[in-house]
Amino acid sequence: MGTARELLGELLDPGSFVSWDRPPVPVDASPAYRKELSAAAATAGTDEAVLTGEGLLRGRRVAVIACEFAFLAGSIGVAAAERIVTAVERATELGLPLLASPTSGGTRMQEGTVAFVQMVKVAGALAVHKAAGHPYLVYLRDPTMGGVFASWGSLGHMTFAEPGALVGFLGPRVYQALYGKQFPEGVQTAENLYHNGVIDGVVPVSVFRRIAHRTLVVLCDGPIPLPGKGGDAPPPAAGVGEFLAGPQERGGLAVLDTADVHAWQSVLISRRGDRPGIRELLRHVTDRVPLSGTGQGELDRTVVHALARFRGQPCIVFGHDRAGQSPDNTMGPAALREARRSMHLAAELRVPLVLVIDTAGASLSREAEERGLAPEIARCLADLVTLDTPTVSVLLGQGSGGGALALLPADRVLAAANGWLAPLPPEGASAIIHRDTWHAPGLAAAQRIRAVDLEADGIVDRIVHEYPDAAEEPVDFAMRMVETIAEELAALTARPLDALRSARHLRYRRLGLGA
């Protein structure tokens, strides 16, 4: 753990930091406490436990707040909290992204309850900053404990921590004093919190600097015009914009008409182990920054979410990860709580949301039921229909059950040619109706689950080709899909948000009623 100035020196461009700090506000203090404050200032070389100001991060102007642990263990009292709030308010007024790096033992005990409740006004100032659409990124240093972790240390749009950092709420020494035993080893570590979905990653400050730069490129630089829409952008992938409306040729080979592919054949194709999934799409985007977990202690390895740019179009992307799914590991309620985190972030940061559907179905287990799988599906549906940002949903492969439906509502719905959507896997529908699985192929056709049928029924807006199967051309298919998503994002972001919300509501209000 370095000093606050060392942290800022590593994080910001050399020589770019400009302090915003004024002398600390006076506080009531006993002679003994005043002596402690004087000694702390002499030891730390700072006048309080936080430094605030602005600087440049790869040439971009940012606001910064950094704790100084050498000043009374980085504890936060009235003066330190006032300095933090003043800096947050100034960053909001200037429209600057805010980077904060706490390291603290928590609330300053010498100031009692009045220091404790300072966390309320810090949290309130940050809520206003975020509501204004400005990014707030957090880098936790060793240690970050107590009220600091429970307020501004946990409110970041993205939160990372330095390797080996002690991070938690109740300090180990306090735990031992209260309960007469040691706190369980390995719990309050940055690595453990990352593995449990509380924070987004554990990286040295040099890597956090790169992550922060990429994040701000996505969130602050705006979309890059696509070809033909003004400006320069990467050329489209081969085959973009073509549709399987009839027999075609590509590379001298005949391509099957989508309408000629039986629904059951699409189901089997979608289940190929080598079929490209969300990770293959993300290999062809730029400025990718991974997110992890719900931020509330849950992590589901069957889903992936990240910030990214699709051909210059910024967004948050969330979806099912076919590589993380197996018969013994299916998506649970935590995956949908992660989805709702992505929805909330997209709306708050005012960037579009891309959702990728590719699931054999949600978990059928006691744990899933007891932890609220069905209510989470309902909340996802309600949130997406009313979300205050443009949305694109992509039916990439299997679309089975409520876990797929939860990511469907969007302004535009795309589908891979062999993508499908159904209330259950066809075998499950067959078991319900016929008490066997042999009728699955017939039910797949009868239920109109194919992409081409979904398009005819108004559920899907656009089909992206497979030639004839995405698994046979994974790179070309992924590039086509990325380009198509980018086109849709560019078109949606050009429309007024009120018009999008109204059209989305009308779209799902009329669904199933015909023209």
- The vertex-59 CA angle with 54 and 61, nearest 5°, equals 30
Q: Where are the beta strands (DSSP E) in 400-450?
A: 412-416
User: Which residue carries 């003043």 as its tokens?
Assistant: 86
Q: pLDDT (tens digit, 9 = 90+) per residue, 54-67?
A: 999 999 999 999 99
Model pLDDT, residue 196? 93
Model pLDDT, residue 131? 95
Query: Among residues 404, 441, 433, which one has the least CA distance to residue 268?
Result: 441
Q: Count other Cβ atoms within 10 Å, centred on residue 350.
A: 16
Q: Is 98 in contact with 135 (CB distance < 8 Å)?
A: yes
Burial of 131 (0-12, 13-18, 19+ CB in 10 A): exposed
Find the largest Cα–Cα distance for the chain: 89
Please measure the distance between the N-terminal and C-terminal CA atoms of the chain and give it in whole angstroms.
64
Instruction: For residue 320, list its beta bridge partners.
Output: 303
Cis ω for the linkage preceding 143 (within 30 of 0): yes
Parallel, antiparallel, or unpaired for β 60-67 and 286-291? unpaired
Q: Where are the beta strands (DSSP E) in 105-172?
A: 136-140, 158-161
Name the token pair of 200: 């987004």
What is the rounded distance in angstroms from the CA atom of residue 299 to the CA atom of residue 130? 24
User: Which uninterrupted H or E stretch holds 101?
Assistant: strand 98-101
Model pLDDT, residue 269? 95
- Number of H helices and E strands in the chain, helices first, is 20, 16
Model pLDDT, residue 515? 57
Name the token pair of 445: 């056709």
What is the rounded distance in angstroms from the CA atom of residue 406 to the CA atom of residue 316? 17
Q: Is 80 in contact with 121 (CB distance < 8 Å)?
A: no
Rg of the Cα atoms in the chain? 26
Contacts (Cβ under 8 Å, ≥6 apart) of 41: 47, 71
Secondary structure letter of residue 350 according to DSSP: T
Model pLDDT, residue 1? 60
Q: Is 64 in contact with 53 (CB distance < 8 Å)?
A: yes
User: Which uninterrupted H or E stretch holds 442?
Assistant: helix 440-446
Q: Count other Cβ atoms within 10 Å, centred on residue 191.
A: 15
What is the rounded distance in angstroms from the CA atom of residue 410 to the CA atom of residue 508? 9
Model pLDDT, residue 183? 79
Tell me the pLDDT of the chain (515 aa) as tens digits.
Answer: 689 999 999 999 999 999 999 999 999 899 999 999 999 999 999 999 999 999 999 999 999 999 999 999 999 999 999 999 999 999 999 999 999 999 999 999 999 999 999 999 999 999 999 999 999 999 999 999 999 999 999 999 999 999 999 999 877 777 777 788 887 888 899 999 999 999 999 999 999 999 999 999 999 998 988 776 544 444 333 333 332 233 344 444 444 455 678 999 999 999 999 999 999 999 999 999 999 999 988 888 999 999 999 999 999 999 999 988 888 788 889 999 999 999 999 999 999 999 999 999 888 778 878 888 889 999 999 999 999 999 999 999 999 999 999 999 999 999 999 999 999 999 988 999 999 999 999 999 999 999 999 999 999 999 999 999 999 999 999 999 999 999 999 999 999 999 999 999 999 988 888 75
Model pLDDT, residue 253? 41
Name the token pair of 331: 């998506």
In whole angstroms, what separates CA 78 from the centre of its chain? 33
Model pLDDT, residue 396? 98
Model pLDDT, residue 231? 42
Q: Where are the beta strands (DSSP E) in 181-312?
A: 201-202, 248-250, 253-255, 286-291, 303-310
Q: Count other Cβ atoms within 10 Å, centred on residue 97.
A: 22
Contacts (Cβ under 8 Å, ≥6 apart) of 85: 121, 122, 125
Contacts (Cβ under 8 Å, ≥6 apart) of 160: 137, 138, 139, 140, 199, 200, 201, 202, 203, 208, 211
Secondary structure letter of residue 332 according to DSSP: -
Query: Among residues 15, 353, 58, 8, which one has the least CA distance to residue 217?
Result: 58
Name the token pair of 67: 């704790």
Instruction: For residue 53, list its beta bridge partners.
Output: 19, 64
